[in-house]
């Protein structure tokens, strides 16, 4: 092969891309290229857990997107962080390990017509890459325990992974801290009827507990560490390009009239280069980047592309549609008699003590995930499953990036796990340099507005329980004067913000689903009843519905499935 020819080209070295590069390059006969628009993950704040504060909003690590003004947010637009660095969002996110609920995957199986997406079929692919601090068991995998998928698999792919000792790369640990005020909130939640849980990741995440996190000995554990270093760097059949942005996909018409993706065009900072993929191009650019790149390449709603002067190649109206996200509604409570981060980090002495604790023990506030305590429950007791998630923090501030408040406080952020509002990702121009138009369309339905109002009332009910009474919590935001459904829904629009979980913009679906962008094996449809040869998508954009929890770990499971299908495909063109 020449230096522009590869077997697999992976677009995006984020959560999914790093895993795919690891798995596909295990076969030494396959030449794999991993392309990342951002740089290496050598910025020290990537690796210190609290460093997300310095990575989000930083052009070194973040795409710096903004949403379009939203009616549901009373005309506000939001900062919309997406990782632009090796590891992608796993390098800047909240590090929370969460799979969602079994019903999420049952819904995927129903919408795709493929039972392999059910919870029981998906669980082994979660466990394959897990290295859980409690070791391997019915629910979790570990580095020193052979994974079920590899033990039972008889293909050359499975044999190769066994020989390479693959699996167990994704470390999951307990947090290295606790706070009295969070312990009290957990007790109050139990008094309000939310049970304690030993594990959020067994298919029903109802309960309250401290989150488990993707860290290792107090350091962030991103997918670049887990899947690229040292494994891929030591393989001669892998190339990793950074500061290289894919500008469009390249198309080829086969003799039988079918469409094939033959490669990509890349801007490497100096000029354009065209690269060929003999087997497949795999898009792992995420729920924003993937639909943007598809549309720039002529795959999307034909009329919208023509209006921008882009010749349509594939008329796929679902590209960029179906955007779903979790909107967190942040309630702040002033307290007395307990330490919070507001008070610990108030002065130079406090900050020095925090730094010293991390330096000596790798614990304390610098080892914090953005949210430490979690709870899953129902906005309405009549619901058959939890539809709310809490992220509870021993701190408060006016907005992300703003200074901590001068008074002791905690924040209870609650989000609707299953929003019915749907948004879009579209192009503002045919230039790859221009950011896409991101319109999440939050709180656009009566159902979502009602859940928002009910969730704020539930927060107040938890805070009113006896366990928190010693701390005399006082609602500072949104304020107790607001009581009606209309008031609370409007306030949700005033104070709600993204929790950084966009999905669904190139979703899976059945063959007769006109809005499905990929089939159940993640092959891109051609809009004419078949699939594009040599092109798959493996990232959060393929989720037909958002998972009931943080979305990073489900993306890894999707990538595991994609790697297996790509490696075992009998079609040379993926």
The answer to whether 358 touches 218, Cβ cutoff 8 Å, is yes
DSSP-derived secondary structure letter, 232: G
Positive or negative CA dihedral for 361, 363, 365, 370? positive
Q: Is 494 helix (H, G, I), strand (E, B) or coil?
A: helix
Total count of residues recorded for the chain: 574
DSSP-derived secondary structure letter, 514: T
DSSP string, 527-552: SSSSEEEEEEE-SGGG-SS--SS-SH
Say how far apart CA 343 and CA 339 lie, in whole Å: 6
Judge whether 44 counts as a catalytic residue: no
The answer to whether 157 touches 20, Cβ cutoff 8 Å, is no
Nearest to 74 by CA among 396, 427, 497: 497
b/e per residue, 279-303, with b = 16+ CB within 10 A? bbbbbbbbbbbbbbbbbbbbbbbbe
The answer to whether 374 touches 388, Cβ cutoff 8 Å, is no
Say how far apart CA 287 and CA 427 lie, in whole Å: 14
The answer to whether 277 touches 72, Cβ cutoff 8 Å, is no
Nearest to 189 by CA among 456, 463, 373: 463
Say how far apart CA 524 and CA 514 lie, in whole Å: 13
| CA-based R_g, the chain, Å | 23
Mutual orientation of helices 102-112 and 119-129 as an angle, nearest 10°?
120
Say how far apart CA 111 and CA 109 lie, in whole Å: 6
Token readout for 459 is 């927060």
- The structure tokens 């044999």 sit at 159
Distances (CA, A) of 165 to 128, 406, 565: 11, 51, 20
Catalytic residue among 129, 391, 501, 573: 501
- Give the residue numbers marked as catalytic: 501
């Amino acid at each position: 092969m020449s230096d522009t020819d590869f077997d697999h080209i992976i677009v995006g070295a984020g959560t999914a891309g790093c895993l795919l590069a690891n798995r596909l390059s295990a076969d030494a006969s396959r030449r794999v290229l991993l392309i990342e628009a951002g740089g290496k993950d050598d910025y020290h704040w990537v690796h210190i857990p609290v460093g997300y504060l310095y990575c989000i909003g930083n052009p070194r690590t973040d795409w710096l997107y903004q949403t379009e003004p939203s009616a549901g947010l009373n005309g506000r637009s939001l900062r919309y962080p997406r990782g632009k660095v090796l590891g992608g969002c796993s390098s800047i996110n909240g590090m929370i390990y969460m799979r969602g609920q079994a019903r999420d995957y049952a819904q995927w199986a129903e919408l795709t017509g493929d039972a392999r997406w059910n919870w029981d079929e998906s669980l082994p692919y979660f466990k394959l890459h897990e290295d859980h601090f409690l070791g391997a068991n019915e629910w979790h995998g570990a580095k020193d325990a052979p994974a079920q998928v590899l033990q039972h698999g008889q293909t050359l792919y499975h044999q190769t992974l066994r020989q390479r000792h693959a699996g167990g790369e994704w470390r999951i640990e307990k947090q290295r801290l606790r706070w009295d005020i969070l312990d009290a909130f957990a007790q109050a939640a139990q008094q309000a009827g939310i049970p304690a849980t030993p594990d959020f990741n067994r298919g029903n995440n109802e309960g309250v507990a401290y989150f488990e996190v993707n860290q290792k000995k107090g350091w962030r554990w991103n997918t670049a560490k887990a899947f690229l270093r040292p494994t891929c760097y030591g393989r001669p059949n892998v190339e990793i390009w950074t500061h290289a942005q894919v500008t469009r996909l390249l198309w080829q018409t086969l003799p039988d009239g079918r469409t094939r993706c033959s490669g990509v065009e890349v801007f490497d900072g100096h000029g354009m280069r065209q690269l060929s993929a003999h087997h497949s191009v795999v898009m792992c650019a995420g729920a924003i980047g993937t639909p943007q790149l598809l549309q720039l390449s002529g795959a999307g709603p034909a009329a919208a592309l023509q209006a921008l002067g882009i010749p349509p190649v594939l008329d796929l109206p679902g590209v960029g549609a179906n955007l779903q996200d979790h909107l967190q509604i942040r309630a702040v409570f002033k307290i007395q008699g307990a330490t919070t981060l507001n008070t610990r980090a108030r002065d130079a002495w406090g900050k020095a003590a925090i730094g010293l604790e991390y330096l000596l023990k790798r614990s304390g506030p610098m080892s914090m995930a953005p949210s430490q305590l979690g709870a899953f429950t129902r906005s309405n007791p009549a619901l058959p499953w939890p539809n709310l998630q809490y992220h509870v923090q021993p701190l408060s501030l006016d907005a992300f990036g703003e200074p901590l408040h001068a008074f002791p406080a905690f924040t209870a952020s609650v989000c609707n796990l299953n929003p019915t509002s749907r948004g879009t990702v579209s192009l503002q121009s045919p230039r790859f340099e221009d950011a896409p138009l991101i319109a999440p369309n939050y709180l656009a339905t009566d159902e979502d507005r009602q859940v928002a109002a009910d969730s704020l009332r539930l927060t107040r009910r938890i805070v009113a329980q006896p366990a928190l009474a010693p701390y005399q919590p006082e609602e500072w935001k949104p304020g107790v004067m607001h009581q009606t459904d209309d008031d609370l829904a409007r306030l949700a629009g005033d104070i709600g913000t993204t929790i950084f979980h966009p999905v669904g913009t190139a979703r899976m679906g059945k063959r007769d689903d006109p809005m499905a962008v990929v089939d159940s094996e993640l092959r891109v449809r051609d809009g004419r009843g078949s699939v594009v040869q040599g092109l798959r998508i493996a990232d959060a954009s393929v989720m037909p519905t958002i998972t009931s929890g943080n979305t990073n770990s489900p993306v890894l499971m999707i990538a595991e499935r994609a790697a297996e299908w790509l490696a075992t495909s009998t079609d040379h063109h993926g």
